[in-house]
Amino acid sequence: MKDGELDLEKLEETVTTAIRMLDNVIDINYYPTEEAKHSNYKHRPIGLGLMGFQDALAACGISFGSDAAVEFADRSMEAISYFAITASSRLAAERGAYSSYQGSKWDRGLLPIDTIEFLEEQRGMPVQMDRSMTMDWDGVRQQVASAGMRNSNVMAIAPTATISTIIGVTQSIEPTYKHLFVKSNLSGEFVQVNIKLVNELKERNLWNDDLLETIKYYDGSLGEVPNLPDDIKARYATAFEIDPKWIIECASRRQKWIDMGQSLNLYIEQPNGRKLDEMYRMAWQTGLKTTYYLRSLGATQVEKSTVDINKFGVQPRWMKNASDSSDVVVERQTEVQECSIDNPDCEACQ
């Protein structure tokens, strides 16, 4: 970001470097089977993704739940796609196209945005996907037609659950889960705090111990925190405060630029059949290739042993919805199943 806008020059440099690095990984990687090695060498697929999407929105002063966020998702992914495809084609001119290039969609002059028509033909009905573009795609087509492509697939957005935490940005293309929570894995428990939010609150002289305690009380969300400016609440809305339609609309705008898919988590505070039908029907109608997890809030929440709940005059929304009885359970009871960290066959745990 530069002055609240995408720094296209820096983005091009970053994407070009990343494509070269990912292509190098194919050659230096360890392959457990000859079949895997043969397939990777033949097709040379890579999957460039992104993370920190909501951080970028906040830097631009944009709320996730807005038309401006949808437009930003479109334009930012268009630029990434433009630079990524161009970089792979230039690598093909330098190192040669992948061996199964002949007859591929790239070879037939088809870019990701061109494949929407095929999807409509297969379904026999229109796909509600915006087709606008702002960059010189004719130049990209000419580059690919001239040199081919180094990689059969170029872009795929992964969840980045762990590496985004290490880097200190929001996960992938998703809204922030909470601004204050504890993440647990086999390596231990890690307190997650939105440092960017804290720094902005400090700059505006709003950060203090009372506000910290209030955010704890409201489970890391700002929506019900009193005396916070509306612009901060809008820009730092958490996953369960944002209407899922905005997440899906942003994903639809990205999909036309991506040659693979997006690991798109959907969030719903209180799931029911009608809402689930609306969400997944919208995802299908707007041309998404896939979704990822569906996440909902549990009926109980963690115990707030360090917060004096008697000082707050109103119950948070989760406490109101937790139970109709007078006794509210506030401690999460979860049976934890762990595999051995020394188990060589387990490749799932991070």
What mean pLDDT is reported for the chain? 87
- The pLDDT value recorded for residue 308 is 61
The amino acid at residue 175 is P
Is 70 exceeded by the pLDDT of residue 330?
no
- The pLDDT value recorded for residue 5 is 86
Percentage of the chain modeled with pLDDT above 90: 67
> Are 101 and 137 spatial neighbours (Cβ–Cβ below 8 Å)?
no
Is 90 exceeded by the pLDDT of residue 14?
yes
243 exposure class (CB count in 10 Å sphere: 0-12, 13-18, 19+) = middle
Please tell me the distance from the alpha carbon of residue 106 to that of residue 149, in angstroms, as a whole number: 7
Residues 205-251 have pLDDT tens digits of 999 989 989 998 888 899 889 989 999 999 999 999 999 999 999 99
Is 60 exceeded by the pLDDT of residue 204?
yes
Q: What is the DSSP letter of 189?
A: E
**pTM, entire model:** 0.84
Q: Residue 317's pLDDT band (boundaries 50, 70, 90)?
A: low
Is 80 exceeded by the pLDDT of residue 122?
yes
Residues 61-105 have pLDDT tens digits of 999 999 999 999 999 999 999 999 999 999 999 999 999 999 999
